[in-house]
Structures are given as structure tokens and as C-alpha cells.
Amino acid sequence: MKTKSIAFALFFFVLAGCQQPARKAPQSSGTEAPQQYGYVAANGQKLYFEIHGKGEPLVLIQGLGSDATNWEPQILALQEHFTVITFDNRDVGRSSQARGPYSIADMAEDTAGLMDALGIEQAHVLGASMGGMIAQELVFHHPAKVRTLILAATVAQVARFHVSILDPWKWMKQHDFNNEVFHIEKIVWGMTHEFLKNAEAVDQLIERLRNPQFPVSPEAFGRQADAVRAFDALDRLGAVSVPTLVMVGDQDILAPPWLARELVAAIPGAKLKILEGGGHGFFLEIPDKVNQAIIEFLKTTQRIRSSQ
């Protein structure tokens, strides 16, 4: 069953997205074509976005070097319950390239500007990895925009660590001219040992990462990595007052469960969900478990809110 789930998720990962937005969006095999898509001006950036489904708005924020096509396994399930808004962060995918260094807080302002441009006053917000850091800054600076908060495979701070995997990753990205090494590094750190034993799944993922649809330049990756490296929200998390779920894979070695517990301890009333069989890439590896946890949390908060 797990092998089928991995192959299923990879199928959508492989086929996700279109090279350029058109008046009529082409339909991928994973999801229906978005009801709305295109570009908005937000915080000095030009951001590509898509909207799927119907219901209360749910904004999904991607991680380091990742674009919105990686949400395909989530869109398929979540669009049945929510209006799902995905977008490419600055410096990746179809969005604009930054002209200089920036912070995670700057990227949160991008997200706030996107919501304003789309007329979304308040939304459920889910951030993955770096996206979880962006979501934290969003709820600090724009609390009224965040109805509920889901922090997935992420941490409260990176800046306090004197060394980080981001340091060699930046060097590797800058010197791996033929993209022969860096994608292997990401798979080893991002996926579980069980996944690494699945030759077919590994080969498919290697092929996609070696030949990405929307390549990220070393300079763009470096700017995002520097923003992550300087991130520290730990001492501010006590101000978060919205319902919050922290999700982590039990085998995540990039943002391990002990760092998820640090988040939960710092956020008043936060809930912790540890997903068995998941690594840092659990959105791809165990999408059914991840999607179920997201839906259950958001539906529960909806019921509580409606009963008050």
C-alpha cells in the first residue's frame, strides 16, 4: 500500500503545472485546472498564483527552492473542502527574481500582498518548512489575516545554530554545475529510509530533480537560504493566538520532532501531530496521512468556531 501511495504521489509530482500561464489553463492529470490563475503585484514582486476548489480559503506556502507544482498531491484532496490558494514564492517557479537579499519577514509581506490582491481578508494558512517560517512571520505582522495556522516540517529558529546544513548546501548549489549531486543530497535528507529502498520511486524523483520544470538559479537559492539562515521567531511565538497545528514526520531529520515540540511549547494552545512513516518530504511520501491530518484539524476548528 505504501509503495502505491508513493508512486501515486510521484505521478502528480511529475506531471504538475504548466510552463506558461494561458487564457485557458491546461489540465494536469493530478488536479482539475484552477478556477483562477495568473500573476499579482505584491510587495514589489510579481507572484504567480493558482486557486482551486471551493470553501473557506486555505493559503499554502512552499519551502526552500520549491514552487507551487509540489502541492499537487495536497490540492487533489484539499480542493474538495477548501478554496486552495497556491503560489510561487519570490525567486522560484514563475514568480519574479529578487534584486537583492531579503528576509523571511519580507516573504511574509509577499504573502500578505498576494492575499490583498486576491481580495482575501482572512484564510487558513499552511506553511511547509521555509513556508512555515513565512507563516509565522505572517501571523506576527498580520494576525487578522490568519484564521488558523498549520506549521509543517518547520522550526521556530535557525539563526541560533552556529552551523547549518544550509551552509554546505549553498556551496553545493553554486558548484554543482551539471546538477549531478545536489538533488541526491536533497533526497537523502528529505525522504525516509523506506522511500530510499524503493528503486522505482527514487529513480523517478531523481529524474525530476535533475531536470526540474522551473530551475532555481544558485543565486536565487542562496538568497532564500540566507533568509532561512537568519530566521528566529522563538521568543515571539507566545503572541500567537490563533488555533495552531504543528505537523512533523517521525523520521524527519531536517526539522525533527524535538524541534516541532519546541514550537508547540512556545505557542499557546498549539497541537502536535507526529505522522508515522514521514520524513521532511512527507507531503510527497505519505500524502494521504498528511491530507487527512490537515482536513481533520481545519474541520474541527470550523466546528468549534461555529458553535461559539
Residue ranges of domains in the chain: 2-307
pLDDT band at 10 (very low <50, low <70, confident <90, very high): very low
How far is CA 240 from each of CA 156, 228, 233, 303, 304, rounded to the nearest angstrom?
Answer: 12, 20, 11, 21, 18
- Based on its alpha-carbon atoms, the radius of gyration of the chain, rounded to whole angstroms, reads 18
d(C-alpha 139, C-alpha 85), whole Å:
17
Tens-digit pLDDT profile for residues 120-136: 999 999 999 999 999 99
Write down the architecture of domain 2-307 according to CATH: 3-Layer(aba) Sandwich (3.40)
pLDDT for residue 2: 44
- pLDDT higher than threshold 90 for residue 201: yes
pLDDT for residue 79: 97
Task: Give the DSSP letter of residue 296.
Answer: H
Q: Is 305 helix (H, G, I), strand (E, B) or coil?
A: helix
pLDDT band at 36 (very low <50, low <70, confident <90, very high): very high
Query: Which comes out higher in pLDDT, residue 211 or 74?
Result: 74
- pLDDT higher than threshold 60 for residue 11: no
pLDDT for residue 308: 82
* Nearest by Cα to 70 from 220, 223, 221, 285: 285
